Amino acid sequence: MPDAVAFSVRAAWQQELAQAIRDPLQLGQLLDLPETWVQQHAGARELFPMMVTRHFVNLMTRGDCDDPLLRQVMPSADEYLERDGFVVDPLQEQNNEHPGILHKYKSRVLVILRGGCAINCRYCFRRHFPYAEHHFGSEQRRQLLDLVRQDTAINEVILSGGDPLLATDTQLERLLSELESVPQLRRVRIHSRLPVVLPSRLTQQLAKRLEQSRLQSILVLHANHPNEVATELAQGLELWARHGITLLNQSVLLRGVNDDVEVLSDLSEKLFAAKVLPYYLHQLDAVKGASHFAVTDAVALTIAEGLRTALPGFLVPRLVREIAGEPSKTPLELSRC
Ligand SMILES: *Cc1c(COP(=O)(O)O)cnc(C)c1O
Ligand code: SF4
């Protein structure tokens, strides 16, 4: 839990977060999963803790070990597989000059505002990230402001994590006020999976504050499967859209979850019905412990072609890969890995 929470009345989303499920055996019971199957996989929590909100669990099908949402959060014995090229720090982020601030692309700077998440995705490229060393405190805030004041090529600040919406509305409002004082900044962007797993996080208070800002604001969600676009989420997104916030989504292409044209088409359609445009479809970062989620480039490109045929152009996400050292994300068509 974020430290400031203890001193104020908890918001609804904070109370829900405190109820998150961290024990695979408990998850198995809630979902009526075969006990032997759960036992076989539960041990992999030692590699990366399990965490999932009750809202997300409620979107899973009882008794289905292959449920696409379950697969994203349930520890798996496959995480012990060693595979060439799957490493601890695939993006070489861990020797950063300013901890918590990633300035890889010219016009935008990304800050790791909060280390934790409300869900631990098994495929996460930051599953081995030393978050404890990356707390975004007053020192980091000063460094960020110094950086954006000095480097006038930066016109956009991206709040990322972990999950930046684990910060309270008050903390976010204070940071926003500071960013508004930097003349060349145009936009603030929030990269968050929290609304998907905890829709009550889409508070009206924060939406109103963003609407009043001189800076344009963008929320980039992270949903991978149409079953994640629940009614409660769609309602929260409608509210934020009414406050003028641009809504985008990024997904990770995951074997056994969404490596399918029909599933991804459904996702795009459901997102658009909730006022969200697809942005990126990421080819998995080769992080140790997640190789069983990998989709080959050949299959990924075939899926992308299928999406172009099935959907209008504005509902087709850009299929990209992140390559350490490149000045932007790389379209898969151009990447050689
Ligand atoms: C992905 C990423 C961004 C954002 O890239 P866009 O193409 O603008 O969405 C910015 N900084 C870092 C370090 C990133 O990994
Ligand atoms: S929400 Fe994002 S950062 Fe957090 S565990 Fe999932 S993939 Fe990783």
The domain that holds 127 is classified in CATH as: 3.20.20.70
Q: Given this model, what pLDDT does residue 177 score? A: 97
In this structure, the answer to whether residues 71 and 184 fall within a common structural domain is no
Half-sphere exposure of 127 (CA within 13 A, CB side): 30
Which spans in the chain are helix H?
Answer: 12-18, 24-30, 35-42, 54-58, 68-73, 138-150, 169-180, 194-197, 204-212, 231-242, 261-273, 297-310
Place of tokens 């918590």: 100
In this structure, the answer to whether residues 162 and 256 fall within a common structural domain is yes
Domain that holds residue 110: 101-335
In this structure, the answer to whether residues 107 and 76 fall within a common structural domain is no
| Residue 116 contacts residue 131 (beta carbons within 8 Å) | yes
| Residue 107 contacts residue 155 (beta carbons within 8 Å) | yes
Residue 45, classified by CB atoms within 10 Å of its CB into exposed (0-12), middle (13-18) or buried (19+), is middle
In this structure, the answer to whether residues 112 and 184 fall within a common structural domain is yes
Residue that is last in its domain, among 51, 80, 109? 80
337 is annotated as contributing to ligand binding: no
The rounded distance, in Å, linking the Cα atoms of 324 and 20 is 33
- What's the mean per-residue pLDDT of the chain? 94
- φ and ψ at residue 217, rounded to 5 degrees: -120, 145
Q: What's the pLDDT band for 174 if we cut at 50, 70, 90?
A: very high
Place of tokens 């490229």: 125
The rounded distance, in Å, linking the Cα atoms of 129 and 127 is 6
The rounded percent of the chain whose pLDDT value lies above 90 is 86
Q: Is the pLDDT assigned to residue 76 strictly greater than 50?
A: yes
| Residue 128 contacts residue 89 (beta carbons within 8 Å) | yes
Mutate to test the pocket of ligand 2, among 222, 228, 257 (most ligand atoms within 8 A of CB): 222
Residues lining ligand 1, Cβ inside 6 A = 102, 104-105, 108, 110, 158, 322, 328-329
Domain count, the chain: 2
In this structure, the answer to whether residues 223 and 192 fall within a common structural domain is yes
Q: Given this model, what pLDDT does residue 335 score? A: 77
In this structure, the answer to whether residues 41 and 123 fall within a common structural domain is no
